[in-house]
Amino acid sequence: MSGHSKWSTIKRKKGKADAERGKIFTRHIKEITIAAREGGGDPEGNPRLRTAINAAKAANMPADNIKRGIQKGTGDLPGVTYESLVYEGYGPAGAAILMEVMTDNKNRTVAGIRHLLSKYGGNLGSNGCVAWMFEKQGVITIDFDAADEDTLMEVATEAGALDIQSDSGSFEIVTGPNDLETVRAAIEAKGIEMVSAEVIMQPNNSVKIEKESEASSMLKLYELLEDHDDVQKIYANFDIDEELLEKLA
């Protein structure tokens, strides 16, 4: 299982999300705004916007906030103009890092990200240096106690899911990026509650980090980048044994 997935699971157990609800809402608003700007304000004809709205609803974002985000994207309301960017680089032990960024000040953002990478034993790379190591996938996460595995497998497979994995207290349903919404809707129709449903960049290979110092630096770097105001999503291909992860968490 990738470092991204392992670390996300550990943080979910630690209950970090509630303390960051305001920041989570900001990220959802940015995604909704830029999705509406690039593809229009109708979610039926804009898959990216539809996915963004569903993710915002799953985070319990009020409908008025979602509406304003769409209106800012379509120009019906004034708002900050965000630029969507992808930054690539390396962390400790040569682990690949891919960041999806939305910013209103590219120079400020790249300087901050470069500083964090350098501070924790990594470096910012050129476009394309690590992107080839990742594959776009849809992933739906469901807690074990929210669904029966056989029922979930039947519903998801019939809707077009590629795989169902289970680890650390949850099911992960893997879909093609264009099939995420179809599978999500089928699961929702069965009344099954989802933790999240999103398109991610899944690493095709992993870098094993065994030294405690490098593992500690990688996790701290990952967390700080994830907490960065302009970073929407971050992916990495590090792999750390569960025992060491638990020790460092």
CATH number assigned to the domain comprising residue 171 = 3.30.70.980
Same structural domain for residues 127 and 215? Answer: yes
Exposed/middle/buried for 107, CB within 10 Å: 0-12, 13-18, 19+? exposed
**Has residue 3 been placed in a domain?**
no
**Has residue 145 been placed in a domain?**
yes
DSSP structure string for 135-151? EEEEEEEEEGGGS-HHH
Same structural domain for residues 125 and 244? Answer: yes
What is the domain extent for residue 154? Answer: 134-203
Exposed/middle/buried for 12, CB within 10 Å: 0-12, 13-18, 19+? middle
**Has residue 4 been placed in a domain?**
no
Same structural domain for residues 123 and 210? Answer: yes
How does pLDDT run along the chain (249 residues), one tens digit per residue?
A: 444 455 555 454 444 554 456 678 888 889 999 899 989 999 988 888 998 998 888 888 899 999 999 998 888 888 778 888 999 999 999 999 999 999 989 999 999 999 999 999 999 999 999 999 999 999 999 988 888 888 999 999 999 999 998 876 789 999 999 999 899 999 989 999 888 888 899 999 999 999 999 999 999 999 899 889 899 999 999 998 888 888 877
Note if the pTM is more than 0.75.
yes
**Has residue 6 been placed in a domain?**
no
Same structural domain for residues 140 and 167? Answer: yes
List pLDDT tens digits, range 164-199: 988 767 899 999 999 998 999 999 899 998 888 888
The interaxial angle of helices 63-74 and 47-58, nearest 10 deg, is 150
The predicted pLDDT at position 230 comes to 92
Same structural domain for residues 103 and 155? Answer: no
Same structural domain for residues 193 and 141? Answer: yes
**Has residue 182 been placed in a domain?**
yes
The predicted pLDDT at position 15 comes to 44
CATH number for the domain spanning 25: value is 1.10.10.200
Same structural domain for residues 20 and 49? Answer: yes
Q: What are the backbone angles phi and psi of residue 231, rounded to the nearest 5°?
A: -90, 115
Same structural domain for residues 127 and 242? Answer: yes
Task: Specify the number of domains making up the chain.
Answer: 3
- Spatial separation of the C-alpha atoms in residues 219 and 155, rounded to whole Å: 35
Same structural domain for residues 66 and 33? Answer: yes
**Has residue 98 been placed in a domain?**
yes
List pLDDT tens digits, range 72-106: 888 888 877 888 899 999 999 999 999 999 998 99
**Has residue 7 been placed in a domain?**
no
**Has residue 47 been placed in a domain?**
yes
The predicted pLDDT at position 179 comes to 93
The predicted pLDDT at position 3 comes to 46
The predicted pLDDT at position 21 comes to 61
Partners of residue 103 on adjacent β-strands: 83
Q: Is 224 helix (H, G, I), strand (E, B) or coil?
A: helix
Same structural domain for residues 139 and 188? Answer: yes
